Structures are given as structure tokens and as C-alpha cells.
Amino acid sequence: MKKGNDRTARVILPILTGLLLIAIWYSIKSIWSLHDFILPAPHDVLFAFGEEAPTLLRATVVTFLGAAIGFSTAVVIGFGISLALVSIRWLRYGIYPYIIVLQMMPIIATAAIVVILFDVGLQSVALIAFLIGFFPIVASTLQGLLSVPEGQRELFQLYKASPLQELVLLRVPNSLPYFFTGVKIAATLAVIGSVTGEIFAGSSDGTGGLGFMIMIYKSELKIAAIYAATLICCVLGFGFVSLVLTFRHLCLHKWHESAMDASE
Amino acid sequence: MPEGPEIRLQNISKRFGNGPLVLDKISIDAKPGEIIGVVGPSGCGKSTLLRIIADLIPASSGEIHHGGNSSEPAYIFQDSRLLPWATVLDNIALPHRLKGVARSERLALAEEWAGRMGLSEAASYFPRQLSGGMQMRVSIARALSLQPNLILLDEPFGALDAITRNRLNEELLLLHQQSGWTAFFVTHSVTEAVFLSHRILIMGNNPGTVSAVIENPLQFPRDAHARESIEFQKLSAEATAALHEVLAI
């Protein structure tokens, strides 16, 4: 009974919060008599979805492509690099400090450099989405691969396990919760990276994504359409994170507490 | 019981780096099928001694001679050290997997040992779904499934409640009766050492030395009633007095 109540609350409370936020939005606009150029009303944003539907749909596909290519590449390469770094100590000593330093680079500055090097278009957008997701995945996965409990390492030593067996049967499973933490951060950042990339690298030949369209709408003073595009970005990001959480739940829920609550 | 020791420790000493001497000239023979209870104050080097015997760390000096059988010793740690992502069966089968035993063969072996340890119904469970006692049963099954001649037990039941601990002690003796392995059993409990062992090794502290070796005349097989006998009480008192002498030094 308690569980049922909890499930209902998890559905109803976000809806109520959403309605409250819309009410606050209307109130702010009304109390301060804000012009549509400054703050469009929620229903204006809704209309913008309808008016700009074909453009927004095409832009969404482009942004999704940039984010998906960058994100999936970051997952595969990030995991592979982590395995290499944990297996070859001198490689870790030589490269890891740079991975930490590169993680500190502001994405806006990185995006500008990427566009200069690789020109505008999907390749640069995907690369920026890749760069923003790659570092958290490597940092988290490497931590998981290295932080194996001493007792379990001793157990593998006792059974005379080879380094490959220790990697595959001990370090990799131990790193999975950490890996998914990194992937979840990367998923959150994938759309941000893609949109940031499009602002710098989205082309005007009909292939611009949501970031590019936000710039166009700004120049055309279509403020409600900017809000609509921003909301689509949020939904896209939510989709990526949900996908990761689903995978995490499938892989870990039987043994790791981080993935036991499916409702997250 | 065949002649000749299963394992002979000769003047085993250990020093970590430039630190103080941890173990000083430990010498003892363990006959085939003999259980030696190792009791001593915290920090006297009991676990270090077991690690040296298991070849997890090297001795600084001294020699270890194994009897005719060269099979590797099994080790049962204080914590069960189960892999949280593996089921009970996969945990029991782990050492066999690492030795390259085929999947069907190692799972059959794991099922057999799960059955012997009363874990059949929990075979597909993950460690977090098991009680502390059941986790330790899995750990014991994992070690014994290797059919070792020598078992090193490092306070395996130290974290369990008294009832579970006594029950596992009795089960361990039954398993010993079936297989006849030799064992070193490290414990902080004098009564546990008396119940399980043929001899009790009392270790002194700073550095760890053999302070006394007490013969245990209690007959095998032993069951729960053995703890109620006068001989058991006398021997426990004798071992406790020997331990107090060590602590008083």
C-alpha cells in the first residue's frame, strides 16, 4: 500500500510542480507586464512549436545525430582508453595528467578551436559532443578499474589469476558502477555539447541543429521559438539520461545498490 | 594417519621493510589431517603467518617444507570476499574458472559443493541477498571445492553471532571428518580453538613467537555436546591461562 502511494506521488508531484511553474511564469509576465520579446507566455511557446514544427523537427534530428555520434563514440573510446590506462602503467603515468587538464578546458573555447581545425558541420558538432563526454567517462571508469578492494585482489593472487583474468573478471565488473556514473554525466552533457557545437559549427545550408536555429531565431526575434527549441534540448537530454539509467538498471540492479531503485 | 608432516615450518621470521620484527623463528609441524588452532593477542602475527604459508607474502627467513602432496593450500578469510556481481554458484566456481576448468564441469562442481554446504536453494542468489553465515558458507565451499590438503582459516567466523559460529564449527568438523585435510585455524576464541583443534598454538607478541603448544586430548568426532564436557572446560581454562601469561609479558 505504501509502495503504491509512493508510486502515485512520483507521478503526480512532478505534474503539480510543472503546473505551478507555468502559473508562476504567467504571474511574472502579468505582474511586471513583460513584453513578448522579453518573456513570451507559455501558450505562445506552444504555438511556436506548431508554427516552427518542420524546422524544429529537422533541427532536432541534426542535434540528436551530433549528440548521439559524439556520445556513443565517447562511451566506446572512453572505456577502451580506460582499459589501456589501467593495463599499462607507464601509459597512465604519461597520459592521465593531460586527461585531467583537458577536462578543465571550457567547452566554449574548445568549440572555437574545433571549428577552426575541422570546419563547420556535423563532424565538428559530434567532436565537441565527444570531447565533453569523453573525460568524465575516462575519469570515472579508471577510478573503478583501479579501486578494487584489496581483499579481492588478494583472492585473485591466491588463485594465481593472470593479469588478463584479473582485468576481465575483477577490475571490469568492479568498474561498472563507476563507468555508468561517467556515462550518465556524459549523457547529460551530450546535448549541451551538441548545441554548443552548433552555435559555433552548425552550417547554414539547411543542416543546422537546434543550437544553430536558436541563433537564427534570436536574429529574427522569434523569442517563443527560442524557448521551444530550448525545451526540445531538455527533452533530448532527458532521453539520453533515461537511456543510460535503463542500461545501468539492467546491468547492475541485481548486485549494486546504485541501480536498485528503478524509479530513479 | 600417515607418517611425516603435511607441512613443516622451520624458523619462519618476517620483517616488513625496515620495520620491527613481526614473526621470530616460528617452527611447527602439522601432521596430515591435523587441525592446529592458532591463538594469540591482536597484532602477534597470526594472519601474517598464514599469509606466508599461503605464499601471499614471502618470509624474511626460514623455510616451509610441504609433505608429499604439493597441492596449493586453500585460504578462508575473515570476510567472505565474495564477488558481489557473481551468484553463489559462480562464486564457488571462481577458482576453477581461473584454472581454466570448462564451464559445465566447474558449475557441476559448484552445485555439488553448494549442496554439501546447504546452499542449493540459494544457488542463484547474489551475495547481498545472503546472511553473513551463508556468505561464509559460500566462502568455505569455494575453498573446499578445490579439494586441498591444507586449509588456512583466518578467523573465518569472527564476525558471526555465537549460534551461527558454533553451528559452522560443527559443520567444519563434519567436513574435516569426510576429507581429512590439514588446517591452521586462527581465532581469538579459546573455546573455538579447543573445540576444533588437535593442538593449540599460543603465540606471543612483539615479535610473534611460539609461546606454548597445548595438546588437545578430546576425542574426534566431536559434536555440540563436546563443549559441555569437563575435559573441554579444563582445556579451555589451561589455554586461557597460557594466553594470559603471554598478555602479562
- Predicted pLDDT of residue A10: 87
Residue A119 has pLDDT above 50, yes or no: yes
Residue A49 has pLDDT above 70, yes or no: yes
Kindly state whether B133 is in contact with chain A, defined as any CB-CB distance less than 8 angstroms. no
Mean of the pLDDT values across residues A127-137? 93
Q: Which residues of A touch B75 (CB under 8 A)?
A: 158
Quickly state the pLDDT bin for A100 (edges 50, 70, 90): confident
Mean of the pLDDT values across residues A179-201? 92
- Predicted pLDDT of residue A104: 85
Q: What is the residue-averaged pLDDT of chain A?
A: 91
- Predicted pLDDT of residue A107: 86
Mean of the pLDDT values across residues A168-195? 95
Task: Please name the amino acid found at residue B245.
Answer: E
Residue A33 has pLDDT above 80, yes or no: yes
Residue A118 has pLDDT above 70, yes or no: yes
* Between A7 and B193, the higher pLDDT residue: B193
Cβ contact (<8 Å) for B81 and A169?
no
- Predicted pLDDT of residue B1: 44
Rounded to whole angstroms, what are the CA distances from B66 to A143, B30, B70? 40, 10, 7
Cβ contact (<8 Å) for A256 and B127?
no
- The ipTM value here is 0.89
Our CA dihedral for A101, A105, A111, A112, rounded to 10 degrees, sits at -110
Cβ contact (<8 Å) for A255 and B126?
yes
Q: Which residues of A touch B79 (CB under 8 A)?
A: 151
Kindly state whether B159 is in contact with chain A, defined as any CB-CB distance less than 8 angstroms. no
pLDDT in tens, B40-52: 999 899 999 999 9
In order, the DSSP letters of chain B are --SS-SEEEEEEEEE-TTS-EEEEEEEEEE-TT-EEEEE--TTSSHHHHHHHHTTSS--SEEEEEE-S--PPPEEE-SS----TTS-HHHHHHHHHHHTT--HHHHHHHHHHHHHHTT-GGGTT--GGGS-HHHHHHHHHHHHHTT--SEEEEESTTTTS-HHHHHHHHHHHHHHHHHH--EEEEE-S-HHHHHHH-SEEEEEETTTBEEEEEEE--PPSS--GGGGGSHHHHHHHHHHHHHHHHHHH-
What residue of B is the nearest CA neighbor of A252? B85
Q: Which residues of B touch A163 (CB under 8 A)?
A: none
Q: What percentage of chain A reaches a pLDDT higher than 90?
A: 75
Cβ contact (<8 Å) for A255 and B128?
yes
pLDDT in tens, B51-107: 999 999 999 999 999 876 667 889 999 999 999 999 999 999 999 999 999 999 999
Mean of the pLDDT values across residues A232-253? 94
Q: Which residues of B touch A170 (CB under 8 A)?
A: 83
In three-state secondary structure terms, A207 is: coil
Q: Show the low-confidence residues of chain B (pLDDT under 50).
A: 1
- Predicted pLDDT of residue A204: 56
CA-based nearest distance B128→chain A, Å: 7
